[in-house]
Amino acid sequence: MAVAADGCAFSWGRGCEGQLGLGNREDVVVPSLVSFNEDGSQRSEAADGLPSKGVPASLRPKREVAGVAAGRLHSVLWDSNGRVYTAGCNDDGQVRVVM
C-alpha cells in the first residue's frame, strides 16, 4: 500500500484475504485506487499507474487518506478526519477497531 501526496491510497499484491482493501480477494499486480463511498463502504477501480498519471475526479476518494499500515493478511488506513478503516483476515481480531 502507498499514499500519494494528494491523499489517494493505492494497493497491490497478494489479496487472498481481502487485505488489499479493494473489496475482493484477488491478487493485483497494478496499483489500484482504494476508495470509499459516502457510507464508508469500499469501492475500487484499477488506476493506470501512479496518481501523477491522473485519477479521474469521479474516482477520487471523498476523504483523503492520511496513512496506511499493512500486515501479512490485513491492512489499516486512516483518513484526515481520524476515521480508521480495516480490511483482511480477522482470525485474531486484527481488523477489529476498538474505541
With beta carbons less than 8 A apart as the criterion, state whether 85 and 21 touch: yes
Pairwise CA distance, residues 55 & 77, whole Å: 19
Query: Domain spans of the chain?
Result: 2-88
* pLDDT at site 49: 44
Given the DSSP bridges, would you call strands 42-46 and 65-70 parallel, antiparallel or unpaired?
unpaired
In the beta sheet, which residues pair with residue 44?
34
Helix (H, G, I), strand (E, B) or coil at 57: helix
Reference 65, options 83, 43, 51; nearest CA is 83
* pLDDT at site 5: 84
With beta carbons less than 8 A apart as the criterion, state whether 67 and 58 touch: no
The separation between the first and the last C-alpha atoms of the chain, rounded to the nearest angstrom, is 24
Walking along the chain (99 residues) 10 residues at a time, the average pLDDT comes out as 86 90 87 70 50 51 80 87 84 67
